[in-house]
Each structure stands twice: as C-alpha cells, then as structure tokens.
Chain A
Amino acid sequence: MALNIGARGRGNIGLDVSGRWMKAAQRGAAGPVLARVCRKKPGAAFDKADATALAGVLDRSGFQGRRAVLLAPRGALLSATLELPPRSSGAPIEQLARMEVARTHKCEPDSFELGLWDLPAPGREDGQTHVFAAALPVSQAEEIITAFEGTGLEIIAIDIPACALARGTSGGTAPDAIVDVGWDGAMLVVMHQGVVVYERMIEEGALSRLFEAAQTRTGMTADVVEPVLLRPTVAERADVLGTLLEPLRVVASEYQEGLAEEIGRSLAYVGHRYNAWSLRRLAVCGDGAAMQGLSEKLGTGLNAECVAGAGGDASSAAHLACIGASWFGPGKQMRSAA
C-alpha cells in the first residue's frame, strides 16, 4: 500500500479479521470507506495469505495510509468482571486484576496484555472496586501482527471489540445494548452510564451454526445461504433467490428465536445487577445485521426498539466495529495494566 501524505486526515484503518469475512473501514469525506473480503479458509488461523489478500483489496478500494487498528479476535479475547478491594485502600488494583485473570484462565500473568476500566457501582453497595478486565494473549496477538508484516499495513493498536462497538454507536442516540452478529458468535455489549458494563459472546448466535443448520436441513451450501439470508437486496430482486428463501425461513426463525432468548437472559442479569438500567434501544450490527426478520424478531422478543447499525444506518451495520476501531484514540478513563 502506497504511503499517502494526505492519509492522516482520513484517520486510521479499522480492521476486523475474525470469522468468515475480513472487514475494513476508514473515515472518508462522503461517509466511511468500507471493504469486505471473504476468507478462503474461515475456520483456519489468520495467516499471511489472508493479510496479503486484505491489503490488496484495501489498496484497490480507495483506502489511504497504512496505519491500522486491529480488532482483537473475539475468540482469543479473555474478559471478566472483577471485584477488587477499594482503590482508597491503596491496593494495587491493576496487579490484582492481572493475577485474577491469570488464575481464572490458568495462564502466566505476563503472557497477556490486559486492559481494565472501572464499572458503575451495582445496585447493592459493597464498597468494592468493580472493574471490567479484557486480556489478549501475546502469542495470539503476535501471530496476527506477524501475518501483516510485509503487506504495507502497520498495526498501531489492537482494540477491544466491545469498546469499538460502543465508539461506533456514540455518534447519535446511544443504544443501551449492542449485538454484533458474527460468524463465530453474537457479541452482546451492554452500556450503562456511558461505560461498557457487560459483554458476552453468545455462541448460539454464531452464523456458522445457522449455515450448518441450513445445509443440514435444506442441502444449501454457505455460498447459497449467504446471499439469500444476509443480502436481502439481492433476494428481493431475484425471484429465483426468493424461492430459495422459503425453505430457509424456518431455520432462520429458529436461529433468531434462540438468539433473542439468550440475549434476554443476559439482559435480565444486567437488569438485576444494575437496577437503574433497562433496555430501550438495541443496535444490531455485524455480518448478520441485514438478515431478514432479525431486527423485528429481536425487537418483539426483547420488547425494545431494535435498529440496524448506528442510528439505523443499515448500510454500515456490518462494519460498525471496524468504524469504531478506526476512531481509536487516547482514552480518558481507561487503565491498562500492561
């Protein structure tokens, strides 16, 4: 990728290489510049061939500059809500959090990079410090960064997906929760008092499971299911694809009901933890955001307003996390225990 002097005005490139599709976004004069590349081997580890293919697409798609912010792979990220001694006690909160994460995930304390931020006090006052900790093993980070070496892209930061999603939806009316429907799972992010207070990767919401069910029950491969279910503009235009949608409706409906049920359980937990929180607005994003009937099903099941993308912008809903990552900048209340 050619170095462009004027690229600094465009900002960083947000990259998401998790799942079946690699996505990129960058701020542009007429809205964000977006790109999506299908991986040849979705289940395999991200390698140099993937990085080279992605860099080539970016070069041809109008992206400028070479500084990129990478979203941490969702499967590799270790996150937890921790209760630690009050900060007024002088206890080393960061070190304690690192040791607690290492103990929970049975790994060495210095084998991962850790980020944490304070959470609002829950309904019951216990005097403890509640923090949200997110950790990424160094080995997995190095594996991806090494794959990008020599492609012209410089990874300047690895962002936490939950924070990127919150950043991506911060432009307009902030939702109370965000669900990012991806290949490996649906990530539910709950925000309260402007802070991400909850995150859960719902494996039942993985598109890979939906595609497997569709192939098992209808015999359709992923290449057929994807345009029928996830690209409604194509389905509406083509009668042939429309006829293919009918047998998939049942599978998709079951998937959506299962996802709404899991989301409802998680939100019930959050509502129990934070009495002042309630779901009024849910943002749906990710690769499955454009799935036919998903927003309606979630809105009905959760009894909340459900919008696609940030402020209902469905065109960029799949890239919402990448857009948020491209806005990566120095935080004001974040603590890194690195």
Chain B
Amino acid sequence: MTQMNMEIEAGTAAKPWLSSRRKQQLAGWVFLTPAIAYLLFAFALPIVYNVMLSFEQTSPATIANFTAPFAGLDNYRAVFNDPTSREAIVRTFEFTFLSLLFQFLIGFALALLFSLRFPGRTFARSLIIVPWLLPLIVTGVIFRFLFQAEGGAVNQLLTNVGLTDHPIQWLNDPNLAFWTILVANIWLGIPFFTLLLYSALQDVPVEGKEAAMIDGAGAWQRLRLVIVPIILPVIEVTLLLGFVFTVKVFDLVIGLTGGGPANSTQLITTWSYNLSFQVFNFGQGAALNNVLLVLALICSPMYLWLSRSSLQRSRGGEA
C-alpha cells in the first residue's frame, strides 16, 4: 500500500491547476484517441466507399475507378425486388435469433457449470475454447465432411444407434441444410458465450451470494436476484456482440454449403458476396450489405437504452 501511495503522490505533483472534472475530460479524450484514430483509418473509409458503391451503376469496368455513373436507388430497388435477396435477409434474421438463443442458453449453462467445484473443472474449462483454435475455413470443411450423406460421421452414428435406416441428406436437402448450418454455427459460438459469461460470473462478489443464502434464498433465486443483475451488463454486451457477429456470418456458410443447395442457405453476406464477385453487381452487393449497417444503427440506441442503468451505476451515483 505504501508503494501505491508513493506513486500517487509522484503523479499528483504534476498538474495542480486542473479541476478534477477537467482532468477527467482531458484524460478521457487522451484515452479515446487511439480508438478514434483506428476507427477512422480502418473503418470510416471502407464504410464510406461501400455506401458510395451502393448508389452507383457498377460492373467490372467501373471497379478500378473510384466513381461510376450515379444510379440513384436502382441498386436498392433491385435488391429488394430480388426474391433471393429478400429470402437471404429473412433467413439471416431467423438464423441469428435461433443461434443466439441456443448459444446463450448453452453458454450460460456451461459457465454456471464451470463455476462449481468439481474434479476436472480447470481441465474442462481450458478445453472449451478449442473450437476457436481452428481457422473458420477448416471448421466449415470439417463439418461438411462430418455431415456427408454417405460416409459422414453423423449419419454413421445415427445408423449405428438405430435412429435412422437411410442416410439423411443434411446438406443436400434444401429444407435440412439451414438446420445443419445452424447447428454448426451454434457449435462455433459456444466458447464465446461460455468464456465471457464465466469471466463475468467470477466478478460476482462472494459476499452478495452468501448474504442471500443466509437470508434463505435457494440456488435459482440467488441466480435470478443476485447474480444476473450483477452480470447484466456483460449479458447485454454478449448478446449484442453475438448478434453482430452472427448476422455477418460468412466463412462458415461458404465452407459448408456455399449458399446452396439452390440458394437455400444464402445469408446476407454470402448472397452479397455472390452479387459482387460472381455476377459483378458490386453496387447491389454493397446495397445488400448496407442492410447490415442499418441494423447496427437500429441496435445501438436500443443497446444504449437497455444498458443505461448499468451506465448510471458505473459512473458513480446510485448504487
């Protein structure tokens, strides 16, 4: 503690004329500068370029130039009149909602499980992140291998156990393929939710839980009334980021189905990729991608509003 006091005193000698409030504002801006610089450099230009593209008449002949003939809302109209684009948008929402639901439930359950003391818990917790060690491409390709109708491990297992007598067309049946990519994506997201929620659970002070136990609260009540409120900011941001990451899923779907069969697993990003790089309608591809930007602009005030209580509590004031 003496060490820390000495350092604090050394730090205070410097600026006695700044008020505490001004100091905070200044420090805030200094702390934010790298982030703002990075955002401007790495994101601002691409986003502006993409928005511009969506209003232009594009083709391979125009991509090497920065500007192309103005096309007004044509690209947007074309995208919304195209049945495949509309289906891709709807499918992305279904996909995202179902993914998040299961990823959260499974991830939270595992996080709670790992918080308990049992033999092998450290080992188990270290292993849960292994799915993320694989590059996404390899994951997509492996899942395709496992879900093959003939010779795939999944069908073999089901046949051995006796649950089915003929090979299930996981990836070849347009009605099943969606569920297959959903399962693969849920699998992929489990480490993310588990780790973040587990980290959050470690932050919950033991005293609060003990106090609740003394008051006679059962495990479920402790969860609901003590634990969840404390880790709510992390739950909020995990769901938010899970949403953002899932809505732009690309590599996994490309690796697994390529968007097929017959476009039955096209999501916004995969169909947009197709529009841009397969049929060279870069403007339409950009327009479809901008649906994602609009989504983000809708989500952000929602998230800020939902998390405002966490924000108030954090900034000092009401506890």
A and B are partners in one complex rather than unrelated chains:
no
Residues of B within 8 A of A (CB): none
Residues of A within 8 A of B (CB): none
